[in-house]
Amino acid sequence: MSSREVVVLSVGGMRFVTRASTLQQFPESRLARMVNDDDREFKLVNGEFFVDRDGALFSYIMDFLRTLQVSLPPDFSDYQRLQREAEFYGLYPLANLLSQEHLLKPRLEILEVRFSLQEMQAFFRIFGSCSTTIEALAEQITVFTGQQSGQGWNSPFPSQKPLVPLPLERPSHHDMVFLCGTEYSAGDQFMARYVSIKPDKRKLINGTNVLGLLLDSLLKDGFRLISTRTVASEEKVECYTFERMKRAAGLAIMVNQTPGSSGVAQARKSQVQKGK
């Protein structure tokens, strides 16, 4: 059996087809011993290994063996049962990771957008509970500045004049500040600030349009609008609060085969980012 490249398992009525080398990632595990005919509990029936265990949970174990990462859906809750399955198969590095449930669970993320209009300018401040989300937004949002002639922010885009990108204000790792619109410069000249939000290629100067594009971008990125309110002050500030469940960082196992280790896999933990 150790020379067979393809192995078929029937686990709890679910059929899995994989390579023998995948099941041998951890040589001391029962799955590796099964492939090598060293574990008699796993019966070979009509060319398939019959395993009387939970097939749905085994699909996560197969994903782990193929990727060496623990990647679970946001609504997953059977950490203890999956840990018990990992222990049954002798996959103790996986079982140890699953025991650290707090590292694997998705976390609630809050993001707040504050918006105010003052004459011909619009002011934005974005605060987020997750600094990596703010960093990602800072890469999407660009403010351009340049002079133009005309009256207010509804004037035509000055394509004949070059625009200069401006760095966003970052009071802290958790927030950013920017503005758009026009302000008086000299004569009939106005200093204009345009905002671009990737992947949209437009450069917008009207604050209401920028707000609409920003909110739409957040909704497409998985956020859910949970409240809107007007902050009571001399200057009316609209506040939009969003939330989303942020997937936890995936936990990876690095397997090192060392000389003279008799084929025993050594594992260490490291964190790798999994998306937003």
pLDDT in the model for residue 231: 80
pLDDT in the model for residue 40: 79
102-134, pLDDT tens digit by residue? 666 777 899 999 999 888 899 999 999 989 899
User: Do 252 and 272 contact (CB within 8 A), yes or no?
Assistant: yes
pLDDT in the model for residue 257: 41
Q: What are the counts of helices (DSSP H) followed by strands (DSSP E) for the chain?
A: 8, 16
pLDDT in the model for residue 102: 65
Buried b (16+ CB within 10 A) or exposed e, 209-237: ebbebbbebbeeeebeeeeeeeeeeeeeb
Say which amino acid occupies 184.
Y
* CATH number 3.30.1410.10 given to 108-246: yes
pLDDT in the model for residue 186: 59
208-245, pLDDT tens digit by residue? 999 999 999 999 998 999 999 988 666 789 999 999 87
Angle between helix 79-88 and 55-67 (nearest 10): 70
Question: In whole numbers, what is the pLDDT of the chain averaged over residues?
Answer: 81
Q: What is the mean pLDDT of residues 87-96?
A: 92
Tell whether the model's pLDDT for residue 206 goes beyond 90. Answer: yes
User: Residue 18: which pLDDT band, with cuts at 50, 70 and 90?
Assistant: very high
33-66, pLDDT tens digit by residue? 999 888 878 888 888 999 999 999 999 999 999 9
Task: Return the higher-pLDDT residue of 166 and 254.
Answer: 166
132-190, pLDDT tens digit by residue? 899 999 999 999 998 766 555 455 444 446 788 988 899 999 999 999 998 766 556 67
Q: Give the contacts of 99 (CB within 8 A, at least 6 positions apart).
A: 83
- pTM exceeding 0.85: no
Q: What is the mean pLDDT of residues 189-203?
A: 89
- Between CA 17 and CA 71 the distance in angstroms is 20
Comparing 5-19, 25-39, 93-107, the range with the smallest average pLDDT is 93-107
Bridge partners of 224, per DSSP, are: 243
Q: Taking the domains of the chain in order of start, what are their residue ranges? A: 6-103, 108-246
CATH class for the domain made up of 6-103: alpha beta
pLDDT in the model for residue 268: 38
Tell whether the model's pLDDT for residue 272 goes beyond 80. Answer: no
Mapped onto helix, strand or coil, the DSSP state of residue 185 is strand
pLDDT in the model for residue 203: 92
Tell whether the model's pLDDT for residue 193 goes beyond 70. Answer: yes
Tell whether the model's pLDDT for residue 197 goes beyond 50. Answer: yes
Q: Is 214 left (phi over 0), alpha (psi -120 to 50) or beta?
A: alpha
